[in-house]
Amino acid sequence: MKKTLFNNLKTTQLIVVTLLCSMALTSCLFDSDDNGLESWLSDRGLPNNYQVQTLSIDNIKPSSVEVNFDMRPKSADVNAVLGHVSNLTHDLVFDLAYSDTSFMKKMSKSDTAGAFLILSWLKPFYNAKQYPSDSLPFDDELEVTVSWKLETNNKDSYKSYFNKITKIADSTWYKELKEWKSDGSADTVVNMKRVKNDTTAAVRLDLPSALVKELKKVKGSAHLQLRLSAPNAPRLYRFYGDASTSYPPSLVLYSDSTTYMKPTPTPFRMANIVKNEEECPECAILHGGGVFDSLVVEIPSEPILEALSEFYGDEFPFIKGDSNDVRQTVIHAQITMARDDSKGSNELGLPIQIVAGSYVDSADMRYLDTADLRYRRMERYRLDTAVILSEGHQNLVFHEGDSLTLQLSYGFRDFLNKASDGRSLKFSMRIGWPFLQEKMTVYRDTIITKKTKVVSAKGDTTYKTKNDTLYKYFGYFDYARYDFSTAMENPMTVKLWLASKREDEK
C-alpha cells in the first residue's frame, strides 16, 4: 500500500509536535498580563463594574389609595374558624353527605332522635407558646345561628349520588356560597370554654330541633350543607378542618342515647364566609390572616421624575424612539411611611409582616387587567442586616419603631423604564404572617447547627440546641386589623439605588 505523508507520522508525534508548537507560540507572543483585559476595557470606554448611586426623595404623597376587601368564601379544610374579630364575622360552612337506610328508618320513628356536631379544637394553636397567655381562659355562652340546605335522593345509589355532588368543583361551591339561600335556620347556644393546658378535645354543638325534624324525613341519601354563624361572638374560635385525618369535624346522628349512625358522617369540604363590618369602606384598613384584603397605592410620577431629572441633569421622562428608558436601572428601591400601631389590633401580639407587590408590565396575557395592563408582581425582600439586628425587620407592623419600609424594586424598575406613557408607581400592600424572628437575619426556617440564643419578638430569651428548627413565621394566621391612615396621610420617603449607563463625569 502506498504511504502518504500523514501515514508516515505517528498520531502521538503529530499531536505532541502540534501541541508544543502551539503552546510555545502562545506563551511567547500571545500571553496576557494581569490587568490586560481591564486596561483594554478601559481604553474602549467600557467599565469594569457599575457605580451604584443612591437618591432619596422626600415628601411623597399617594395620589390614590384603594382598599379591596376580600369577601370571597375560602377553604376551611385545614383551619376552620368561627366567630367575630377585627370587625369581621367568620361563618363556617360544612358540605357533607350520608346514607344509611336502616338507621334512617330508626331515626325517623324515634322521639328521642337528635344530632350534634363535634368540632375539635385546634390544639396546636391554643397550646403554642406564642398564643397569648392572657387570652385564656375563656368561657363563652355562644349564640350560634344554624342554617341549612338539605337535599335528599331516592333514585340513585349513594355512590353515584355522592360522586355527582363531589364533582362540583370547590371553586364553584365557594362561588355559590356567596348567594346562600337556606332551607331553614334556627338559633342555638353552645358553651365555648378553654383554660390553660386544656385537654378538652372538642366542642359539642347540638343541632336545633327544626333541623333534626328535617333530618328525620330523609330517605335514601342526604346532601346537607350546614352553616354556623356567630356574629356576636366575643372572639374567634379555631378548629380542625375536614382535611385533618385525626380530628375532622363530624355530624353525629342518633335515634336514641345508644344508637348512632356509624360511621359518623364527616364533611368532604368546608368553607369560611367572611362578613365585613367596617363602617368606613374607603378607609385604608386591612384585615389579615385568612383574609386577603389589599391596599393599592399609587404614587404620582412627577416628584420622582423631577428628582431624577435634577439628579442626572437629563430630561425625565425619556421620550425618544420608543421611549423605553434604559439609560439607568433601579438596583433596589424602598418606600418608608409612618406607622401607628395603636390604630390596629391583633390576636397574638406578634409582629406581622406587610407583604408588598408592584404593578409591572408583563408579556403574559394571563394576567391581563384591561383597566391597567399591568399585573401585580410580588416583591423580593432583601436583608438590611445592620438595621435588622438593631431595630428588627422594617417591613413589620406591631413592633418597635414608628415607620414601615417596603421594598419595591420591581415596581420602580418598571416605572422608570416606562414612565413616558404617563404611568404612576402602583403597588399593593397586604397583611402577611405573624413573624417570629424579628431581629434575626436568617430569613427562612432554619435547622440549628449549634447552640443559639434566640430573643423572641416579645423579648423572651431562649436557647435553641442542635437540630432544633427556628421557624420564620408562626404557622397560624393572626386575624389582625390594621389602619394605614397614618401611613397614607403623612409624607413618604422613597430611596433608590441606581445604576446608570451615563458617561463618567471627568
Partner 1 sequence: MKKFLLALGVFSSFAFSSMIGLDALGEENVMGGTASAAGRGFAGNAKTGDAEGLSVVNPARLAFDAKVVFNLNFSMELDGARNGGSHYSHSSLSIPSFNLSFPMGSFGAMGLSLWQHYAASFEDEYKNKETLANAKLEYKGSVYELVPTYAVRLPFFRSLSLGASAHVVMGNNSRNLTLGANNENIDKSDSWATGDYILSDYVEGAWEIKDHPAYYTGAVQYRGKNASYFFSFTTGYTLLNTLDYNFRFSELDTLESTRSKREIDVPAMLATGINYRLAKRHNVMVDLTWRVWDDDIENIAGGWNMPEVTETQTDFMVSLGYQFDGSPLFYESYWNRINYRAGAWYRNWYIKDVFEVGGSIGGGFPLGRKGTTIDVAFQGGKRFSDAKSEWEEMFIGLRIGLTGIATWGQERR
Where along the sequence are the contacts to partner 1 (CB under 8 A)?
A: 2, 4-6, 9, 11, 14-15, 18-19, 22-23, 25-26, 29-33, 35-41, 43-54, 321-322, 324-329, 331-332, 334, 361, 382-386, 413, 417-418, 497, 499, 501-504
Write the secondary structure of 75-122 as one string of H (helix), E (strand) and C (coil).
ECCCEEEEEEECCEEEEEEEEEEEECHHHHHHHHHCCCCEEEEEEEEC
Complex with partner 1: residue 15 or 280, whichever CB lies closer:
15
Tell me if 427 sits within 8 A of 297, measured CB to CB: yes
CB of 145 to partner 1, least distance (A): 51
Quote the cell numbers at residue 34: 494581569
Q: Minimum Å distance from CB 506 to partner 1? A: 8
419/429 with CB nearer partner 1? 419
- Identify which of residues 149 and 327 has a Cβ nearer to partner 1 in the complex: 327
CB of 412 to partner 1, least distance (A): 11
CB of 35 to partner 1, least distance (A): 7
Instruction: Give the three cell numbers for residue 161.
Output: 349520588
Q: Is the dihedral of CA 65, 69, 75, 81 positive or negative?
A: positive
Structure-block grid coordinates of residue 272: 369560611
CB of 85 to partner 1, least distance (A): 37
**Alpha-carbon radius of gyration of the chain:** 32
Residue closer to partner 1 by CB (options 270, 360) is 360
Closer to partner 1 by Cβ: residue 50 or 138: 50
Q: Which helix (H) or strand (E) holds 334?
A: strand 328-338
- For residue 280, the minimal CB distance to partner 1 (Å) is 36
CB contact at 8 A, 37 and 476: no
To partner 1, the closest distance from the beta carbon of 4 in angstroms equals 5
Task: Report yes or no: 323 and 421 within 8 Å, Cβ to Cβ.
Answer: yes
User: Rounded to whole angstroms, what are the CA distances from 335 to 51, 70, 294, 485?
Assistant: 22, 25, 17, 16
Cβ nearer to partner 1, comparing 22 with 154: 22
Locate 101 and state its grid cell: 337506610
> Would you say 322 or 460 has its CB closer to partner 1?
322
The residue (of 47 and 234) whose beta carbon lies closer to partner 1 is: 47
Answer whether 492's CB lies under 8 Å from 62's CB.
Answer: yes
- Strand ranges of the sheet holding 328-338, from the earlier edge strand across to the other edge: 403-407, 328-338, 492-500
Q: Give the residue carrying C-alpha cell 406578634.
A: 350
According to DSSP, residue 486 is labeled: H
User: Min. distance of Cβ 332 from partner 1 in angstroms?
Assistant: 4
